[in-house]
Amino acid sequence: MNTLPQKDISRLQKYIKQATKTIILSHVNPDGDSVGSCLALYLFLREQGKDAWVIIPNNIPDFLQWLPGADNIVTGKNNPDEAISLIAGADLIFYMDFNEINRLDQLSGYVQNNRKAAQVMIDHHPAPVIPADLIFSYTTVSSTAELLFKIIESLNSGKKITRPVAINLFAGIMTDTGCFRYNASNPDTWEVVSLLMKSGIDNDEIYTRIYDNYSEHRMRLMGYALDKKMVILPELHTGYIWLTREELKNYHYVIGDTEGFVNLPMSIKGIRFSALFIEQDKRIKISFRSKGNFAVNRFSAAYFNGGGHLNAAGGEWNETMENTLKRFEKLVHEFADEI
Ligand code: 5GP
Ligand code: MN
């Protein structure tokens, strides 16, 4: 990513100056990057004396609950009336870390009904289709949090960002890069991290609060998934894990518990494509990961109503687990040459 166009920053400055009620939206099933980015922007705007709210369609995982500002998040699922009225009354809307309106789940329609608000998208997913007034879409950047750092830096005219903002941005970059592994080969990312460190954050504490924060149930579920529910197709360089609602219930599943499971098969020698299938109420939620050129975002968009990045994507399928897995295995055979 080069420097941000000055005309975009000026336009954003104008929007912020004119705004009286700003809402900041994350995609459904929020992750460290979407939550960290929303909260960093929220705290930054509050520091500027602006009225702002973070609205997220459903709950944030437990391991993010401690992030500065997280107590003030409005959750669409728990407080629909408040979320809907805030959306209707907003004159500035930020879309953080997503590229399609339907990633707002049940809130999508309400946002589309607000025609008076200026809309700004800040995201790093390919192929954005949100008709925002101002779009910061940089697909090579590690995370939305890294992109937001650059935006805040430009708005802040050289002033050091505050520690609570820096903590959220660091959490976003750290989680979206799987601790600085994926999509983190650009030196820019490390420069941003260096500047965040200068805001006085404790990287080790942030790591511990996010990754050493699992329940015993989650660890045992992971053991079960690895031992009993991981399927390895060595000749296809593919591995996947599948978990039913019943199994999740047995392990007292709470949101966030299967976070990272999709990466587990990838640690096996020779595996270049992995998937995680989670049975939800009416559908199977799927995560995909790959190494190299096999584009899981295109695979997911073409066959599982999803999208995402080249090497990390997600989707869903409205059939039984059995049919979904059959479909997946058939496709894996068809794509054998590309994986
Ligand atoms: P995860 O597997 O960690 O949930 O998601 C990996 C990536 O895929 C993220 O960048 C996320 O935004 C994207 N993603 C996950 N699920 C979906 C989905 O259902 N639709 C789309 N378009 N993207 C998704
Ligand atoms: Mn992200």
Tens digit of pLDDT for each residue in 272-292?
A: 999 999 999 889 999 999 999
pLDDT at 1: 64
Closest residue CA from atom 15 of ligand 1? 314
- Candidate from 309, 317, 318 with most ligand 1 atoms within 8 A of CB, to mutate: 309
Question: Which ligand lies nearest the alpha carbon of 32?
Answer: 2
Inform me whether the pLDDT recorded for 87 exceeds 90: yes
Query: Where does the pLDDT of residue 321 fall: very low under 50, low under 70, confident under 90, or very high at 90 and above?
Result: very high
Q: Which residues contact 52 (CB under 8 A, 6 or more apart)?
A: 21, 22, 23, 24, 41, 42, 45, 46
Q: What is the pLDDT of residue 158?
A: 78
Query: Ligand 1 site: residues with CB under 6 angstroms?
Result: 31, 100, 125, 262, 287, 306-309, 312-316
Whether the Cβ atoms of residue 7 and residue 153 lie closer than 8 Å to each other: no
Judged against a pLDDT cut of 90, whether residue 51 lies above it is answered with yes
* Separation of alpha carbons 249 and 264, rounded Å: 21
**Structural domain contains residue 1:** no
Ligand 1 atom closest to 316 (CA): 19
CA of 268 to the centre of ligand 1 (A): 23
State which of 161, 177, 211 marks the end of a domain: 211
Domain contains 302: yes
Residue where one domain finishes, among candidates 186, 211, 236: 211
Residue 238: in which H helix or E strand, if any? strand 238-243
The answer to whether position 190 is within a domain reads yes
CA of 134 to the centre of ligand 2 (A): 19
Task: Count Cβ atoms below 10 Å from residue 207 Cβ, excluding itself.
Answer: 14
Instruction: Tell me, yes or no, whether 174 and 235 share the same domain.
Output: no
Q: Which domain holds residue 127?
A: 6-211
Reported as a pLDDT band with limits 50, 70 and 90, residue 2 is: low
Same-domain pairing of 36 and 49: yes
For residue 261, how far is its CA from the centre of ligand 1 (angstroms)?
14
* Dist CA 266 CA 263 (whole Å): 5
Rounded to the nearest 10 degrees, the angle between the axes of helix 163-176 and helix 32-47 is 160
Do the domain assignments include residue 129? Answer: yes
Q: Please tell me the distance between residue 209's alpha carbon and the centre of ligand 2 in angstroms.
A: 19
User: Are both 22 and 170 inside the same structural domain?
Assistant: yes
179 and 128 in a common domain? yes
Query: What percentage of the chain reaches a pLDDT higher than 90?
Result: 92
Averaged confidence pLDDT in the chain: 96
Question: Is residue 108 assigned to a domain?
Answer: yes
Query: Do 163 and 223 sit in the same domain of this protein?
Result: no
Tell me: the pLDDT tens digits for 26-43?
A: 999 999 999 999 999 999
What pLDDT, on a 0 to 100 scale, did the predictor assign at position 316? 97
- Per-residue pLDDT at 185: 87
Please report, rounded to a whole number, the percentage of residues in the chain having pLDDT higher than 70.
99
**Same domain for 232 and 170:** no
Looking at residues 57-81, what average pLDDT do you find?
96
Same-domain status, 41 and 112: yes
CA distance 147 to 173: 10
Domain holding 52: CATH number? 3.90.1640.10
- Centre of ligand 1 from the C-alpha of residue 297, in Å: 8
Which of 104, 274, 287 is the pocket-test mutation for ligand 1 (most atoms within 8 Å of CB)? Answer: 287
Spatial separation of the C-alpha atoms in residues 151 and 43, rounded to whole Å: 14
The predicted-structure confidence for 108-141, as pLDDT tens digits, reads as follows 999 999 999 999 999 999 888 998 999 999 999 9
Q: Which CATH number covers residue 294? A: 3.10.310.30
Residue with the smallest CA separation from ligand 1 atom 2 is 287
69 and 93 inside one domain: yes
Residue 339 covered by a domain: no
Domain boundary residue among 211, 237, 259?
211
* Residue 31 CA to ligand 1 centre (angstroms): 10
Q: What is the pLDDT of residues 197-253, one digit of tens each?
A: 999 999 999 999 999 988 999 999 999 999 999 999 999 999 999 999 999 999 999
Domain membership flag for residue 247? yes
**Closest atom of ligand 1 relative to the 287 alpha carbon:** 2
Pocket probe for ligand 1: among 27, 56, 125, the residue whose CB has the most ligand atoms within 8 Å is 125
Nearest-CA residue for atom 24 of ligand 1: 314
**Does the predicted model carry a pTM greater than 0.85?**
yes
- Domain contains 158: yes
pLDDT at 184 over 90: no
Predicted pLDDT of residue 256 = 85
Q: Could you tell me how many helices (H) and strands (E) the chain has, helices first? A: 12, 12
Tens digit of pLDDT for each residue in 251-260? 999 988 999 9
In this structure, are 24 and 161 located in the same domain? yes
Tell me, yes or no, whether 99 and 73 share the same domain: yes
Residues 63 and 135 occupy one common structural domain: yes
Q: Total structural domains in the chain?
A: 2
Q: Are residues 198 and 222 in the same domain?
A: no
